[in-house]
């Protein structure tokens, strides 16, 4: 499923030439559009070259900072009105990515920035940040330097740079074949990331909110994580939390106290296990009535509460899926199914 993204046009202080100057980015909205990647045949002469550097050493935070330089190695000047550059990266589940130009000797006001989500997964890239030039000319032997570019997730989701197609951990400019350059939409420098094989895979994480394991409630918090490279329709997913009722004749009551995806999209049910298995005579079944989990994203925490009808106590220490960790950790004793097929965990 393709998501609409925010596109940012840098319209910093008006710059009349291509000289030195700082700019503070201002933003307007735009929408993403489908992309088709193909080099021209024959391609224009490769006189424009991309260089890059890292400005943050590849640290994992809710954004990344880098510099780009466009170098004209031809023998004549080049008009920049049809020139674009693309920096390819993985969003790691971030969905509110905004690009910015903080400083450029070339002039932040001379470029527009946008972030586009790829319609199909590529090797080490599911997005690219594009630099478009708002006209002007680049002299033979000259360069256009954008020292301080950034892509920041407004939701605070951390993004790992070390798996990004265009990332290189260096502090000075050098030729970068993984930053691509286009003239009139035709590739003239660099290599686009190749198509990646589609993988659908999930992981279940769990934290225990119970103070003691022998009170009258089971209170697991479950998080489903997409560790594949495509979005997953949550209606295809089922989770099972395995436990013992400890009493035979009591009906069970299930509640969703909070869910980042919305409790209205979470459905709870109880299924008896017959014959009973070690540490499990019942499982709590968690289903979803809607929603999409982005590639490398998650559902966020789903806080569940289970009681017996008479509110008598459980003994969680003999429950298969129970754990003592109070922060999220992968739990292979909670099983996950995609289209009815086991894709995570081990049943009892």
Domain that holds residue 335: 202-344
Contact 336, 348 (CB under 8 A): no
Whether 300 is in a domain gets the answer yes
Distance CA 71, CA 74 (A): 9
pLDDT digit string (tens) for the chain, length 348 residues: 333 333 333 333 323 333 333 333 333 333 344 444 444 444 444 599 999 999 999 999 999 999 999 999 999 999 999 999 999 999 998 989 999 999 998 899 999 999 999 988 899 999 999 999 999 999 999 999 999 999 999 999 999 999 999 999 999 999 999 999 999 999 999 999 999 888 899 999 999 998 899 999 999 999 999 998 888 999 999 999 999 999 878 899 999 999 999 999 999 999 999 999 999 999 999 999 999 998 888 999 999 999 999 999 999 999 999 999 999 999 999 999 999 999 999 999
Do both 210 and 234 map to the same domain? yes
**In whole angstroms, how far apart are CA 145 and each of 16, 107, 228, 257?**
16, 8, 36, 52
Same domain? 118 vs 230 = no
One domain, residues 214 and 274 = yes
> Which residues are 303's β-sheet partners?
221, 258
The pLDDT value given to residue 301? 97
Same domain, 53 and 155: yes
- The reply to whether 154 and 252 lie within a common domain is no
57/185 same-domain check: yes
Residue 147 lies in a domain: yes
Asked whether 176 and 190 are in contact (CB, 8 A), the reply is yes
Residue 46, pLDDT score = 58
Helix, strand, coil share (%) of the chain residues, nearest 5 = 5, 45, 50
Residue-wise DSSP of 119-163: EEEETTEEEEEEEEE-S-EE-TT-EEEEEEEEEEETT---B-STT
CATH of the domain at 156: 2.60.40.710
Q: From CA 296, how far away is CA 290, in angstroms rounded?
A: 18
Q: How many CB atoms lie within 10 A of CB 235?
A: 14
Based on the fold, state whether residues 214 and 185 are members of the same structural domain: no
- Residue 42 falls within a domain, yes or no? no
Output the pLDDT for position 229. Answer: 83
Q: What per-residue confidence (pLDDT) applies to 22? A: 35
Same domain, 182 and 242: no
**Distant-in-sequence, close-in-space partners of 347: CB < 8 Å, separation ≥ 6:** 240, 242, 277, 335
Residues 272 and 181 in one domain: no
Residue 88 lies in a domain: yes
Do residues 206 and 318 share a domain?
yes
pLDDT the model gives residue 83: 97
Which pLDDT does position 198 carry in this prediction? 85
Total of domains in the chain: 2
Instruction: Note whether 62 and 98 are same-domain residues.
Output: yes
The domain boundary, picked from 166, 189, 212, lies at 189
- The verdict on 86 and 177 lying in the same domain is yes
Residue at 259 is within a domain: yes
């Amino acid at each position: 499923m393709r998501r609409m993204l925010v596109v940012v046009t840098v319209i910093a202080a008006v710059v009349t030439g291509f000289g030195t100057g700082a700019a503070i980015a201002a933003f307007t909205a735009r929408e993403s559009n489908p992309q088709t990647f193909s080099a021209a045949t024959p391609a224009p002469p490769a006189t424009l070259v991309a260089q890059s550097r890292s400005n943050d050493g590849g640290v994992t935070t809710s954004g990344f900072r880098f510099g780009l330089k466009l170098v004209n190695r031809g023998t004549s000047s080049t008009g920049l009105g049809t020139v674009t550059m693309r920096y390819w990266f993985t969003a790691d589940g971030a969905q509110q990515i905004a690009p910015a130009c903080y400083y450029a000797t070339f002039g932040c006001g001379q470029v527009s920035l946008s972030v586009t989500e790829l319609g199909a997964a590529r090797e080490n890239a599911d997005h690219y940040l594009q630099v478009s030039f708002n006209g002007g000319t680049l002299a033979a032997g000259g360069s256009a330097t954008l020292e301080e570019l950034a892509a920041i997730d407004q939701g605070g989701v951390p993004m790992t740079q070390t798996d990004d197609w265009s990332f290189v951990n260096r502090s000075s400019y050098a030729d970068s074949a993984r930053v691509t350059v286009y003239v009139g939409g035709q590739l003239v420098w660099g290599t686009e990331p190749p198509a990646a094989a589609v993988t659908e895979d999930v992981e279940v994480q769990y934290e225990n909110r119970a103070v003691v394991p022998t009170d009258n409630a089971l209170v697991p918090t479950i998080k489903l994580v997409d560790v594949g490279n495509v979005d997953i329709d949550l209606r295809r997913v089922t989770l099972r939390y395995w436990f013992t009722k400890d009493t035979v004749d009591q009906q069970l009551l299930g509640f969703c106290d909070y869910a980042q995806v919305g409790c209205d999209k979470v459905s709870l049910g109880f299924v008896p296990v017959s014959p009973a298995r070690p540490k499990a005579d019942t499982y709590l079944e968690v289903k979803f009535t809607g929603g999409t989990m982005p590639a490398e994203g998650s559902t966020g925490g789903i806080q569940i509460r289970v009681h017996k009808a008479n509110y008598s106590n459980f003994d969680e220490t003999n429950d298969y899926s129970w754990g003592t960790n109070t922060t999220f950790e992968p739990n292979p004793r909670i099983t996950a199914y995609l289209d009815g097929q086991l894709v995570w965990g081990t049943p009892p």
